[in-house]
Amino acid sequence: MARSGAHYTPHSRNDSSMHDSSYRSSAHANPGTAGSDTSRPSTPRFSTTRGDASYAAAVQKSSASKNPYLQAQSSNSKIKRDRVGFVTADKGFVSAKRPMTGSKKPKRGMTRRDFIMLGGLAAIAAALPIGWNIFRPVEIVINGARRTYNVNTPMSEILSKEKISVTAGNLTSVSGNVITEGKGYAYSVKIDDKDLSFDDGNNYKIHGGENITIGNGGDIMEEYSVETVETQPKLTMDGTWGAVTYVSQWGKVEKKEIRTGKTSGETADGEVTQKGQDCVLKTRNLQPKDGKKLISITFDDGPSVYTERYLQILKDHGAVATFFNLGQNVDEMPEISKKIIDAGHEIMSHTYHHDVLTKDSAERVQSELDTSYESIKKATGVETTMVRPPYGAFTEKTWAVTQGKMSASILWNQDSLDWSRPGVDKIVANSVNGIQPGYIILMHDGGGPREQDLEALPQIIDKLHDQGYTFVTVTDLMKADGDVPEDILTGKAKMPEDAIWPTELG
Ligand SMILES: [Zn+2]
């Protein structure tokens, strides 16, 4: 568990944009708004004082030179300009002494003579936008009543003139309990069908034609401190048994805010800043789409002195295969592994030392994987994170110690039992009988005398060809299945940077 502190200014619980970070930053930008609210009566009337405070807040957030309303005021009302000037100068945004009508002056280079030559038209044209903005009356509908105001009149000014009775929201705790009635936002503003945040509503300047609804004010949540709580992902299994097990979802840490109210002392869940997810291992049998008769034949414990003869048989009988090489054997015969790849077959890891991984320490499991991957890459250039665990021994607990170094465990559906040397006919029968599309056959090209296999292999391939089967690599069998995620299908999937490998079972 990791915690980090942060402070947020209060904001409205009822506001539809409360989960939007942009709303919170607007609360940061104008902390004075909440403060001025708290001095209001519980059922407010829109006094001049509040209107001016809101107006000042509006100006504070606006750029003086771009604000036509401000220009209009500055040329029209000395008193208001002074008040605006005081507020803005105090906040350091705009100088009180700054000439507000500067943008309306003739451009540099124009002479007095130019004006005369234009017969004064230019002066009229220059003055026109100001007059237009000040004096153009527009109609609005406010709470059902038709009203006329000049364009760009701010909402705060309209509300100071309209007699609208609404109820202010409350100051609430982090868990939603009322701390003080009436100390929330004074009112809410809806323009046509759009609810505005309190600041946006207060600063809104009319265009004309709006249908404005002034409603009850939203609640303001008390100030609170934030701690971030992390929840680690767990390792979960999807399916009970199958020939293949692969990572169908990588684990991610969940980060959630816990808020502690500065007034109430209550704690409550805040936003989930990072959605977490468990790591999911899917275990199942492969099923080629559209019932395609695809199968894989696999050889463990090589490379060995027999392997090249396997390659010749596969070539002669038109089959591809997947070889699960032991790292220590690859290091002894790297050229044989290279020949496997050059012949169009596939190599995956069978670990380095052929350990029973379920009995290994976490460090040993990881080094068995890493060193075998390295040997295969060095000999063939092939990168793999797919593994056949020796003896098929691999449990959920073993997965938990891999640290995400393995993307898939590949077992089998048909065990030829060739390791017990039961005779050629038995090996053929074990490999072929009861086979279904998507099945994986287990044989060996290392680990002991392989003469029975070499005799059985051509028969196995021919029999299955006769039944309409096509041999493909394990990766291609997984591709044909259609359920395996894209990154796993590369054969060399690694845990993404933003993921985390769980050590706890779900
Ligand atoms: Zn083996």
pLDDT at residue number 109 = 53
Can you tell me the mean pLDDT for 55-64?
37
Q: At what angle do helices 78-91 and 48-60 cross, to 10 degrees?
A: 50
Q: Report the DSSP beta bridge partners of residue 386.
A: 408
The residue among 97, 132, 167 that closes a domain is 132
DSSP assigned state of 222: P
Could you give the CA distance from residue 57 to residue 190 in angstroms, rounded to a whole number?
A: 19
Give me the half-sphere count of Cα atoms (radius 13 Å) on the Cβ side of residue 376: 29
Tokens of 355: 């350990």
Q: Sign of the C-alpha dihedral, residues 463, 469, 474, 476?
A: positive
pLDDT digits (tens, 9 = 90+) for 233-283: 999 999 998 999 999 999 999 999 999 999 999 999 999 999 999 999 999
If DSSP states are collapsed to H, E and C, what string results for 36-82? HHCCCCCCCCCCHHHHHHHHHHHHHCCCHHHCHHHHHHHHHCHHHHH
Say how many Å lie between the CA of residue 372 and the centre of ligand 1: 13
Give me the half-sphere count of Cα atoms (radius 13 Å) on the Cβ side of residue 179: 20
Tokens of 21: 């970070």
Q: For residue 161, what is the domain's CATH number?
A: 3.10.20.30
The residue among 283, 305, 330 that closes a domain is 283
Instruction: State the DSSP H helix or E strand holding residue 191, giving kind and residue range, or none if neither.
Output: strand 187-191
Could you give the CA distance from residue 109 to residue 101 in angstroms, rounded to a whole number?
A: 18
Whether the pLDDT of residue 92 is over 70: the answer is no
Q: Both 359 and 411 in a single domain? A: yes
Tokens of 225: 């401190």
Can you tell me the mean pLDDT for 283-309?
97
Domain tally, the chain: 4
Could you give the CA distance from residue 443 to residue 377 in angstroms, rounded to a whole number?
A: 23
Say how many Å lie between the CA of residue 302 and the centre of ligand 1: 9
pLDDT at residue number 135 = 79
Q: Both 395 and 480 in a single domain? A: yes
Q: For residue 381, what is the domain's CATH number?
A: 3.20.20.370
303: helix, strand or coil:
coil
Please give the torsion angle defined by the CA atoms of residues 235, 280, 387 and 479, in that order, rounded to the nearest 10 degrees. 180
Q: Are 445 and 323 in contact, with CB atoms under 8 Å apart?
A: yes
Could you give the CA distance from residue 207 to residue 186 in angstroms, rounded to a whole number?
A: 23
- 9 falls within a domain: no
Q: Both 246 and 147 in a single domain? A: no
Region for residue 435 given its phi and psi (left: phi exceeds 0; alpha: psi -120 to 50; beta: otherwise): beta
Burial 258-286 (b: 16+ CB within 10 A, else e): bbebeebebbbebeeeeebebbbbbbbbb
Nearest alpha-carbon partner for 196 in 146, 224, 154, 165: 154
Strand order in the sheet with 5-8: 5-8, 224-231, 254-261, 267-274
Q: What is the largest CA-CA distance in the chain?
A: 116
Q: Which residue has the tokens 């209009």?
A: 72
pLDDT at residue number 33 = 36
Single out the catalytic residue among 199, 219, 300, 453. Answer: 300
- 13 falls within a domain: no
More confident residue, 123 or 369: 369
Whether the pLDDT of residue 68 is over 90: the answer is no
pLDDT digits (tens, 9 = 90+) for 16-59: 333 333 333 333 333 333 333 333 333 333 333 333 333 333 33
Could you give the CA distance from residue 269 to residue 255 in angstroms, rounded to a whole number?
A: 11
- 411 falls within a domain: yes
Can you tell me the mean pLDDT for 95-99?
36
Q: For residue 239, what is the domain's CATH number?
A: 2.20.230
Q: Rounded mean pLDDT of the chain?
A: 81
pLDDT band at 84 (very low <50, low <70, confident <90, very high): very low
pLDDT digits (tens, 9 = 90+) for 453-469: 999 999 999 999 999 99
pLDDT at residue number 59 = 36
Q: Are 418 and 452 in contact, with CB atoms under 8 Å apart?
A: yes
Q: Both 125 and 193 in a single domain? A: no
- 359 falls within a domain: yes
Q: Both 341 and 363 in a single domain? A: yes
Say how many Å lie between the CA of residue 419 and the centre of ligand 1: 9
- Note if 444 is an active site residue: yes
Could you give the CA distance from residue 143 to residue 212 in angstroms, rounded to a whole number?
A: 6
Could you give the CA distance from residue 93 to residue 286 in angstroms, rounded to a whole number?
A: 67
Could you give the CA distance from residue 246 to residue 122 in angstroms, rounded to a whole number?
A: 77
Instruction: State the DSSP H helix or E strand holding residue 132, giving kind and residue range, or none if neither.
Output: helix 121-135
- 8 falls within a domain: no
Say how many Å lie between the CA of residue 114 and the centre of ligand 1: 97
Say how many Å lie between the CA of residue 399 and the centre of ligand 1: 18
pLDDT band at 365 (very low <50, low <70, confident <90, very high): very high
Single out the catalytic residue among 37, 199, 444, 445. Answer: 444
Q: Are 70 and 59 in contact, with CB atoms under 8 Å apart?
A: yes
Q: At what angle do helices 307-316 and 334-342 cross, to 10 degrees?
A: 10
Say how many Å lie between the CA of residue 67 and the centre of ligand 1: 78
Strands 187-191 and 440-444: unpaired
Pick from 14-18, 375-379, 415-419, 483-487: least confident: 14-18
The residue among 108, 132, 156 that closes a domain is 132
Q: Which domain holds residue 270?
A: 224-283
Q: Both 427 and 388 in a single domain? A: yes
In sequence order, the 6+-apart residues with CB closer than 8 A to the CB of 398 are 357, 358, 365, 389
Q: Both 312 and 449 in a single domain? A: yes
Can you tell me the mean pLDDT for 155-173?
93
pLDDT band at 300 (very low <50, low <70, confident <90, very high): very high
Q: Both 208 and 229 in a single domain? A: no
- 234 falls within a domain: yes
Q: What is the pTM of this model?
A: 0.65
Say how many Å lie between the CA of residue 501 and the centre of ligand 1: 27
In sequence order, the 6+-apart residues with CB closer than 8 A to the CB of 223 are 7, 8, 9, 10, 261, 262, 263
- 10 falls within a domain: no
pLDDT at residue number 163 = 87
Whether the pLDDT of residue 221 is over 60: the answer is yes
Q: Both 36 and 102 in a single domain? A: yes
Q: Both 54 and 75 in a single domain? A: yes
225: helix, strand or coil:
strand
Q: Both 291 and 279 in a single domain? A: no
Could you give the CA distance from residue 352 to residue 368 in angstroms, rounded to a whole number?
A: 5
Q: Report the DSSP beta bridge partners of residue 502.
A: none
Whether the pLDDT of residue 63 is over 50: the answer is no
- 97 falls within a domain: yes
Say how many Å lie between the CA of residue 489 and the centre of ligand 1: 23
Could you give the CA distance from residue 15 to residue 172 in angstroms, rounded to a whole number?
A: 13
Q: Both 118 and 35 in a single domain? A: yes
Q: Report the DSSP beta bridge partners of residue 284.
A: 244
pLDDT band at 120 (very low <50, low <70, confident <90, very high): low
Can you tell me the mean pLDDT for 184-208?
95
398: helix, strand or coil:
helix
